Amino acid sequence: MDGSIAILRRIWLAVLAASASLALAQPAAAQDKAACNDASVLGVQRVVEIDAKGGPLLGNLQYKEIDFLEPGEVVLTFDDGPSRQTTEAVLAALAEHCTKATFFMVGRMALAEPDMVRKIDALGHTVGSHTWSHANQGSLSAANAEREIELGVSAITAALGKPIAPFFRFPYLSDPRRSINYLEGRDIGVFSIDVDSYDFRTRNGAVMKQNVLSQLQKKGKGIILFHDIQRSTAAGIADLLDELKRRKFKVVHMVAKAPAATVAAYDAIAQKDLARRKVQTANNPLASRSMTWPVETGAGSGPAPVTVARPPSQQLPWKPAAGTAAAPPARNADAAAPQAARNTTPASRAERPTWKREELPWQEQMWNHYR
Ligand SMILES: [Zn+2]
């Protein structure tokens, strides 16, 4: 009896020793995978594949036709980055919970931090675009609005070194119909939001967390807007993810059915800018001191993704024929007043100019830093 226990113990110790040396030898990905099976992490409940053909419009704040989330499900989205100072904390918190998000990047931020763009992709997150320089589409000429969209896609693609997802979010959620038409023609999906972290209004992570939780309490699900350039999000995201887990929310990860195409003329501009920045970085090595990449993805094998495509209600009968300038009728109440639309009450529409004023100086400050 004693002998067999001793043998068992020896076998057990041998197994332990083997797994210890395996753990040392294995890359981070394998260890992450083990941690990802832990029931205490959020993980990814479901992968939803978005078919961006025809430019579907998603996010209940502005567009009501597509609702792919079940009660209790959330989508994590991060705009305006990447930023060396704050995005790392966001990535660490997501990794801690083995969960995945979508990053709507600003083109010139991506060109300033191409290593971070690649790292975000390598971690298994989805990379979408948020224009070239975060200009308000509603205040641009047609040519400049197009340039903002195209140079954004080309710049982020150039920074990543491979195609991004055809996923787009309007700066300030300002979605003029002309730009929506353009994106439809480019087979790029437009993503609005359901829940706003208002992380740009505070530097306090606990306030940001409470903003999200109180809205989720009412709505029960939704696409959540964060900004990975905001300190409140960098500071509060880990606690928020813990709390989402405690409250039994599930994370849905959006992926693209097909990659975003780029326009050659804008690719050329983006590549030139990227090359210029590489020379600058080479001349100033300290500028890239904090880069560590790539990190392996810890994505587990979940169920087959559900595909979401543009529904018949978004097959727009009013779309003008090529060459005509006829203005289409309003798509819906939100589309008729897209600049407002924080929600449907007149009081909150009045808040919107404040929101713009608050967001702009911070970003300008960031971008000036990276120029
Ligand atoms: Zn933004």
Q: Which of 117-131, 151-165, 270-284, 338-352 has the lowest mean pLDDT?
A: 338-352
- For residue 129, what are the β-bridge partners? 105, 168
Query: Ligand 1 centroid vs 130 CA: distance in angstroms?
Result: 7
- For residue 57, what are the β-bridge partners? 190
Share of the chain above pLDDT 70, in %: 70
Domain locations in the chain?
46-308
Neighbours of ion ligand 1 (CB under 5 A): 79-80, 171
At 347, list the tokens: 């009081």
Residue 284's pLDDT band (boundaries 50, 70, 90)?
confident
Question: Residues 237, 87: contact at Cβ < 8 Å?
Answer: no
Q: Which of 227-231, 279-283, 296-300 has the lowest mean pLDDT?
A: 296-300
Query: Ligand 1 centroid vs 172 CA: distance in angstroms?
Result: 6
- The CATH number of 46-308, from 2.60.40.2220, 1.10.3720.10, 3.20.20.370, 3.50.50.60, is 3.20.20.370
User: Average pLDDT, stretch 94-122?
Assistant: 97
pLDDT at 305 (0 to 100)? 65
More confident residue, 159 or 39: 159
pLDDT at 282 (0 to 100)? 86
Instruction: Kindly report the backbone phi and psi dihedral angles of residue 47, in degrees, each rounded to the nearest multiple of 5, phi listed first.
Output: -105, 125
pLDDT at 359 (0 to 100)? 46
Residue 355's pLDDT band (boundaries 50, 70, 90)?
very low
Share of the chain above pLDDT 90, in %: 63
pLDDT at 182 (0 to 100)? 98
**Residue ranges with strand state E in the chain:** 46-50, 57-58, 73-79, 102-105, 126-129, 167-168, 189-191, 195-196, 222-227, 250-256, 306-308
pLDDT at 313 (0 to 100)? 77
Query: Ligand 1 centroid vs 164 CA: distance in angstroms?
Result: 18
Question: Residues 170, 140: contact at Cβ < 8 Å?
Answer: no
Question: Residues 197, 211: contact at Cβ < 8 Å?
Answer: yes
Structural Rg of the chain based on CA atoms: 22
User: Average pLDDT, stretch 255-275?
Assistant: 97
Query: Ligand 1 centroid vs 64 CA: distance in angstroms?
Result: 21
Query: Ligand 1 centroid vs 168 CA: distance in angstroms?
Result: 11
pLDDT at 312 (0 to 100)? 77
Query: Ligand 1 centroid vs 365 CA: distance in angstroms?
Result: 14
Query: Ligand 1 centroid vs 339 CA: distance in angstroms?
Result: 14
More confident residue, 286 or 252: 252
pLDDT at residue 299 is higher than 90: no
- For residue 167, what are the β-bridge partners? 189
Q: What is the pLDDT of residues 207-262, one digit of tens each?
A: 999 999 999 999 999 999 999 999 999 999 999 999 999 999 999 999 999 999 99
pLDDT at residue 93 is higher than 60: yes
Question: Residues 341, 84: contact at Cβ < 8 Å?
Answer: no
Query: Ligand 1 centroid vs 175 CA: distance in angstroms?
Result: 13
Query: Ligand 1 centroid vs 81 CA: distance in angstroms?
Result: 9
Most confident of 88-92, 291-295, 322-326: 88-92
Query: Ligand 1 centroid vs 281 CA: distance in angstroms?
Result: 26
pLDDT at residue 325 is higher than 50: no
pLDDT at residue 80 is higher than 60: yes
User: Average pLDDT, stretch 328-332?
Assistant: 37
Q: What is the pLDDT of residues 21-79, one digit of tens each?
A: 334 444 455 555 567 778 899 999 999 999 999 999 999 999 998 999 999 999 999 99
Query: Ligand 1 centroid vs 331 CA: distance in angstroms?
Result: 23
pLDDT at 358 (0 to 100)? 41
pLDDT at 156 (0 to 100)? 98
pTM of the model: 0.75
Query: Ligand 1 centroid vs 89 CA: distance in angstroms?
Result: 19
pLDDT at 29 (0 to 100)? 52
User: Average pLDDT, stretch 126-139?
Assistant: 97
pLDDT at 33 (0 to 100)? 58
Average pLDDT, the chain: 79
Query: Ligand 1 centroid vs 356 CA: distance in angstroms?
Result: 10
